[in-house]
Amino acid sequence: MANIQSVKQRYGIIGSSEMLDHALSTAIRVAGTELSVLITGESGVGKEVFSKVIHSLSPRKHNNFIAINCGAIPGGTINSELFGHEKGAFTGANSDRKGYFETVDGGTIFLDEVGEMPLDTQSFLLRILESGEFIRVGSSTIVKTDVRVVAATNVDLLKKVRKGKFREDLYYRLNTVPIKVPSLKERREDIFLLFRKFASDFAEKYRTPLIQLDQHARLLIESYAWPGNIRELKNIAEQLSVMAEDRLITAESLTKYIPNIRNRNLPAITSEGGEDLKEREILYKLLFEMKHDLNDLKSLVFELINNNDLNVPDVSRLRQLKAPDSPTRPTNRPSFSEDYQEHADTEYPIETPGNQAIIIDRSYDKSYDRMEVVEENLSIENMEKDLISKALKKHKGRRKDAADELGISERTLYRKIKQYEL
């Protein structure tokens, strides 16, 4: 049995993430069998490559392999494309025609976007999987075929089953061995390796100097969600290789090609799953906004330090400072307030790398009154109530707009308004 590294080299698969290796390992193990395989994953993750791996390592490797995009074939002609037709079966059928399942007899068929297949076509496919038999369009003669089916989808087929848009029996027949191909955001450690490989390929193809990313640009591409996955990453590498004037790509130049690369991609909360999820919607929204505010605050502090050329003292050294004439502190030291009053007027020397003493003058502290520590109310209900009030005030009482802003349904918002008597 082939090992993972040799398969990666043969098919140009780049990456070392655990999820990718697990998917490849499953494909290698199932290749030598006749089991049906369902490959799932987002658009652009490379599902077709996995189907080719399965075919090339199977006993059918010397026979035909064909990849069919079910979503690209019109519903009125898909049966003819897959199973063939007899002369005169429909307008334009001027002669007999063999379908893919007949011409690829003994080989492998890769059905991409199988979730877009019409229901009547699903019935014919199920019969092939169970008995290897099908009937051409416009014929009554049963035709036998020996084809291995590898299917792929970028949608949740179980949801389609629940909605009656996909046959349940076909789903379980296709899903004998499931393979989940991870998206780029699930294998971020591979993003830079892929970009570097694409950049090298395009530099050779277009005979241009190799583009490189600076540290900030690299952080951006590794934190971006990449909704188009590998296909999108490859397109960006090609654009930069051709269009970028400077061969060192910065974060600023990267935003010209991916305007929303700095956007935070927070998990979306759907309305499915019952009332229990709705109860947490506002809390999630609040937590995400708090995180956003905290990040903004950190950025502001660092910007102030850099722009004003401020020297931030080493906190660990400040903590080691002792008051004059007090080489040792008693174990039962006074409280903070007493200790502060005792040494409020004391000047503490701090040694610097240049051996110059810096005097910290605390006399100005006298101009301020003692501060009073007010405990913040951390009740989730109060925070939730405050967030709803702000949304309603912002949208001038328009509940629909406020619900959209909060990321919850209008019905949930109405119930919260009654609950908090807003």
Q: What is the pLDDT of residues 194-237, one digit of tens each?
A: 999 999 999 999 999 999 999 999 999 999 999 999 999 999 99
Q: Give residue 344's pLDDT.
A: 46
* List of long-range contacts for 185-188, beta carbons under 8 Å, 24+ apart: 185/225, 185/226, 185/265, 186/17, 186/19, 187/15, 187/17, 187/19, 187/20, 188/222, 188/223
Boundaries of every domain in the chain: 4-182, 188-257, 275-292+376-420
41-68 pLDDT per residue, tens: 999 999 999 999 999 999 999 999 999 9
In whole angstroms, give the CA distance from residue 396 to residue 401. 9
Which three-class secondary structure state does DSSP give residue 201? helix
Give the model's pLDDT for residue 164: 95
Q: Tokens representing 240?
A: 């930069």
DSSP state of 327: S
Identify residue 17 by its one-letter amino acid code: S
Q: Is 211 left (phi over 0), alpha (psi -120 to 50) or beta?
A: beta
The mean per-residue pLDDT over the stretch 353-380 comes to: 51
Decide: 177 and 37 in contact? Cβ < 8 Å: yes
Query: What pLDDT does 360 receive?
Result: 45
Question: pTM of the predicted model, to two decimals?
Answer: 0.62
Q: d(Cα 229, Cα 243) in Å, to the nearest integer? A: 21
4-182 and 188-257: same fold? no
Cβ proximity of 390 and 396 under 8 Å? no
DSSP string, 43-94: TTS-HHHHHHHHHHTSTTTTS-EEEEEGGGS-TTTHHHHHH-B-TTSSTT--
29 CB contacts (<8 Å, ≥6 apart)?
A: 1
Q: Where are the alpha helices (DSSP H) in 308-372?
A: 315-319, 336-342
The pLDDT tens digits of the residues spanning 274-312 come to 545 555 666 776 777 777 777 778 777 777 777 776 666
Q: Give the per-residue pLDDT at 328.
A: 46
% of the chain surpassing 90 pLDDT: 56
Region 4-182: CATH code: 3.40.50.300
Q: Span 172-183, mean pLDDT?
A: 95
Q: Is 170 or 412 the better-scoring residue by pLDDT? A: 170
Residue 368: which pLDDT band, with cuts at 50, 70 and 90? very low
Ranked by mean pLDDT, the top range of 74-78, 179-183, 366-370, 417-421 is 179-183
Rounded Cα gap, residues 53 and 63, in angstroms: 14
The confidence band for 130, taking pLDDT boundaries of 50, 70 and 90, is very high
More confident residue, 90 or 283: 90
For helices 191-206 and 215-223, what crossing angle results, to 10°?
120
Q: Count CB neighbours of 315 within 10 A.
A: 7
The predicted structure's pLDDT at residue 393: 85
**Cβ contacts of residue 27 below 8 Å, gap of 6+?**
37, 50, 53, 54, 57, 179
The residue to which tokens 């291995």 are assigned? 148
Query: Cα–Cα distance between 110 and 401 in angstroms, integer?
Result: 45
**Number of residues that this document lists for the chain:** 422
Q: What is the mean pLDDT of residues 353-364?
A: 48
Q: Decide if pLDDT at 340 tops 70.
A: no
Whole-number pLDDT of residue 372: 53
Domain spanning 188-257 has what CATH number? Answer: 1.10.8.60
SS3 126: helix
* Spatial contact of 117 and 78, defined as CB atoms under 8 Å apart: yes
